[in-house]
């Protein structure tokens, strides 16, 4: 067991344990905060897989954006309006079906994927990925990249429109 | 001696030592800066500040540390205990991990990764989560409002500051902080604020945009460290002390330390982005690894002092003014600058 393995198991345990807290915690704020460690652990595993750009983007988008948004929503509803939001069990049958389907899908992917096992992971040469990603985004994958940016722009404009309409209604 | 060298070559030991090195800088730096801040504030307000402890009060920071060490560590009964304890450490970790990519000199950088400045933007978002955690866990309305204001402010100002960083990345062609500094090596004229290491006509046409980007980054970095004129998260007259109202003793000290470390961090980023990092302003004169560290810390401290000066001079902004500055002034100007820089660099 070398240093690489120790770090891998550390991040794996952090990810899975915090994900378990997200699911099983009764208090939704604990779930939201626990997500931080899940995202962080996944980012750590990306780093170990030599995907540095992906790891940092994971931190920036999920921790800096999505998690903060979730926390805002959860905090403003529980502590300011003083309505306790608790998680509970409901809709057991549909949930079971969806989870079974999802598990089957994931298991199928794990089973059919041709896993990269040629090299031990610790021997992967450390080379940077940002240049290759940048080049790929503006050459081979330029169309999906542009479509994604246009869709995001539409989403931003839509969000701004909704926020603005609500404010003008309250003014009247 | 042999044993020590063997121990140092162990990857775990050397990693731990490299990880602790910035702490050796932060702790004395915080003591000095607390003293400088109190003295500058006092002289700006035409008073003396502490004069009793040592020569002109030079021992006061040590007395403050002793006081904080002795204080009772109070955890409110209604607080969420685990999160309450975790929050200050999370805030400090977010700030401290950014120090990994600060090139203190040509010979010392914690981790010379290719995505240095991008990493720095990303890990500073940990601070936001830590602040929200402290505000919520305190179970105190002032703490919660302070934390929410702080998070809203930091998230808004991340956009102009990231755009300003993007402009510099386009000029220097790299995201690595060390390579960015090498790009500016060779005297004051090669610094990115004067167009960097590019042909003359490009340099001349870049200067106005670089100055605008510098101002944008300076303003948004001040907002990100939550200091006056952007200190509504801890506006005393409205919110007592903001997110750290309930904290005392060493936990409060860690918040304080993180705030001062963050102050140096944003100043150091200004220096790396626009003012040549560890390079000497006189070209090869007074340059080298040790002089590099000297220049880096000196330039960083100059911007720390600029921040302190502005803090004690300007009044506090209102919330709507704060958001107006970020979204309607800084962001459009930053976008225009990025566009212009892109055109200049491509031509």
Nearest to B244 by CA among B119, B17, B87, B33: B87
Contacts of A71 in chain B (CB under 8 A): 129, 132, 136, 151
**Is residue A81 within 8 angstroms of chain B, CB to CB?**
no
Position A121 scores a pLDDT of: 52
Report the alpha-carbon distance of residue B332 to residue B320 in Å, rounded.
17
State phi, psi for A86 to the nearest 5 degrees: -115, 150
Is A63's CB within 8 Å of B125's CB? yes
Asked whether residue B59 is domain-assigned, the answer is: no
* pTM metric for this prediction: 0.84
Position B191 scores a pLDDT of: 84
Asked whether residue A84 carries a pLDDT value surpassing 70, the answer given is: no
User: Into how many domains does chain B fold?
Assistant: 1
- CB-based contact B175:B118 (threshold 8 Å): yes
- CB-based contact B221:B269 (threshold 8 Å): yes
Q: How close, in Å, is residue A113 to chain B by CA atoms? A: 30
Position B68 scores a pLDDT of: 83
Asked whether residue B28 is domain-assigned, the answer is: no
Position A167 scores a pLDDT of: 55
Based on DSSP, count helices (H) and strands (E) in chain A, helices before strands: 7, 0
- CB-based contact B5:B78 (threshold 8 Å): no
Nearest to B19 by CA among B114, B108, B110: B110
Is A52's CB within 8 Å of B113's CB? yes
Q: Give the pLDDT band of residue A99 (cuts 50, 70, 90).
A: very high
State phi, psi for B50 to the nearest 5 degrees: -70, 135
**Is residue B123 within 8 angstroms of chain A, CB to CB?**
yes
Position B253 scores a pLDDT of: 85
A43: Cα within 13 Å, side-chain hemisphere:
21
**Is residue A29 within 8 angstroms of chain B, CB to CB?**
yes
Asked whether residue A172 carries a pLDDT value surpassing 50, the answer given is: no
Asked whether residue B7 is domain-assigned, the answer is: no
For A149, the token pair is 């940016």
Position A3 scores a pLDDT of: 74
**Is the CA virtual torsion B204, B209, B215, B218 positive or negative?**
negative
Position B54 scores a pLDDT of: 77
Asked whether residue B183 is domain-assigned, the answer is: yes
* Cβ burial A27-63 (10 Å sphere, 16+ → b, else e): ebbbbbbbbbbbbbbbbbbbbbeebbbebbbbbbebb
For B248, the token pair is 């005392």
Position A17 scores a pLDDT of: 93
Position B83 scores a pLDDT of: 84
Q: How close, in Å, is residue A99 to chain B by CA atoms? A: 30
Q: Which domain holds residue B134?
A: 71-346
Contacts of A140 (CB under 8 A, 6+ apart): none
Is A59's CB within 8 Å of B123's CB? yes
- CB-based contact B32:B58 (threshold 8 Å): no
* Cβ burial B230-244 (10 Å sphere, 16+ → b, else e): bbbbbbeeebbbbbb
Asked whether residue B225 is domain-assigned, the answer is: yes
Asked whether residue B321 is domain-assigned, the answer is: yes
Position A12 scores a pLDDT of: 92
Q: Which pLDDT tens digit goes with each residue over A122-136?
A: 555 556 677 778 888
Asked whether residue B49 is domain-assigned, the answer is: no
pLDDT averaged over consecutive 10-residue blocks of chain B (347 residues)? 72 79 86 87 84 82 84 79 86 88 82 84 85 83 82 85 89 85 81 80 84 90 78 69 76 86 90 86 78 87 89 81 86 91 85
- CB-based contact B112:B178 (threshold 8 Å): yes
- CB-based contact B326:B160 (threshold 8 Å): yes
Asked whether residue A104 carries a pLDDT value surpassing 90, the answer given is: yes
Q: Which of residues 225-284 of B touch A (CB under 8 A)?
A: none
**Is residue A56 within 8 angstroms of chain B, CB to CB?**
yes
Residue B101 DSSP symbol: G
Position A128 scores a pLDDT of: 67
Report the alpha-carbon distance of residue A25 to residue A36 in Å, rounded.
14
Asked whether residue B53 is domain-assigned, the answer is: no
The packing angle between helices A3-24 and A28-48, to 10°, is: 160
Strand partners, A86: A27
Is A56's CB within 8 Å of B126's CB? no
């Amino acid at each position: 067991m070398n240093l690489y393995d120790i770090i891998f198991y550390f991040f794996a345990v952090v990810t899975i344990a915090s994900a378990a807290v997200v699911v099983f915690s009764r208090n939704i704020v604990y779930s939201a905060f626990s997500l931080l460690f899940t995202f962080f652990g996944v980012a750590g595993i990306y780093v170990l897989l030599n995907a540095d750009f992906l790891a940092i983007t994971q931190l920036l988008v999920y921790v800096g954006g999505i998690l903060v948004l979730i926390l805002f929503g959860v905090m403003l509803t529980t502590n300011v309006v003083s309505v306790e939001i608790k998680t509970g069990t409901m809709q057991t049958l549909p949930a079971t079906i969806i989870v079974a389907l999802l598990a089957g899908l994931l298991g199928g992917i794990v089973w059919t994927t041709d896993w990269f096992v040629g090299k031990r992971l610790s021997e992967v040469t450390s080379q940077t990925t940002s240049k290759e990603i940048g080049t790929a985004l503006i050459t081979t994958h330029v169309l999906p990249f542009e479509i994604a940016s246009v869709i995001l722009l539409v989403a931003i404009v839509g969000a701004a429109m909704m926020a603005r309409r609500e404010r003008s209604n309250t003014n009247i | 001696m042999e044993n020590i060298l063997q121990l140092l070559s162990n990857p775990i030991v050397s990693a731990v030592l490299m990880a602790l090195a910035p702490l050796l800088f932060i702790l004395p730096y915080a003591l000095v800066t607390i003293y400088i801040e109190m003295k500058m504030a006092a002289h700006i307000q035409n008073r003396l500040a502490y004069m009793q402890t040592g020569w002109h009060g030079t021992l006061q920071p040590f007395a403050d540390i002793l006081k904080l060490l002795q204080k009772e560590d109070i955890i409110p009964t209604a607080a969420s205990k685990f999160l309450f304890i975790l929050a200050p450490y999370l805030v400090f970790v977010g700030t401290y991990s950014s120090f990994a990519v600060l090139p203190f000199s040509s010979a010392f950088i914690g981790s010379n990764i290719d995505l240095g400045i991008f990493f720095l933007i990303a890990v500073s978002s940990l601070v936001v989560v830590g602040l929200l955690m402290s505000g919520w866990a305190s179970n105190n309305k002032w703490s919660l409002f302070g934390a929410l204001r702080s998070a809203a402010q930091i998230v808004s100002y991340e956009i102009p500051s990231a755009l300003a960083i993007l402009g510099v990345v386009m000029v220097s062609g790299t995201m690595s902080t060390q390579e960015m500094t090498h790009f500016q090596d060779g005297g004051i004229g090669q610094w990115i604020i004067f167009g960097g290491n590019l042909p003359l006509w490009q340099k001349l046409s870049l200067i106005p945009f670089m100055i605008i980007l510098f101002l944008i980054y300076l303003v948004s970095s001040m907002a990100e460290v939550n200091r006056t004129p952007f200190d509504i998260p801890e506006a005393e007259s409205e919110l007592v002390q903001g997110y750290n109202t309930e904290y005392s003793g060493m936990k409060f000290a860690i918040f304080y330390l993180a705030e001062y470390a963050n102050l140096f961090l944003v100043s150091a980023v200004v220096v790396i982005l626009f003012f040549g990092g560890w390079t000497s302003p006189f070209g090869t004169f007074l340059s080298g690894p040790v002089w590099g560290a000297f220049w880096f810390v000196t330039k960083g401290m100059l911007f720390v002092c600029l921040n302190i000066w502005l803090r004690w001079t300007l009044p506090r902004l209102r919330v709507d003014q704060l958001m107006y500055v970020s979204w309607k002034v800084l962001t459009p100007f930053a976008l225009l600058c990025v566009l212009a820089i892109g055109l200049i660099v491509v031509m």
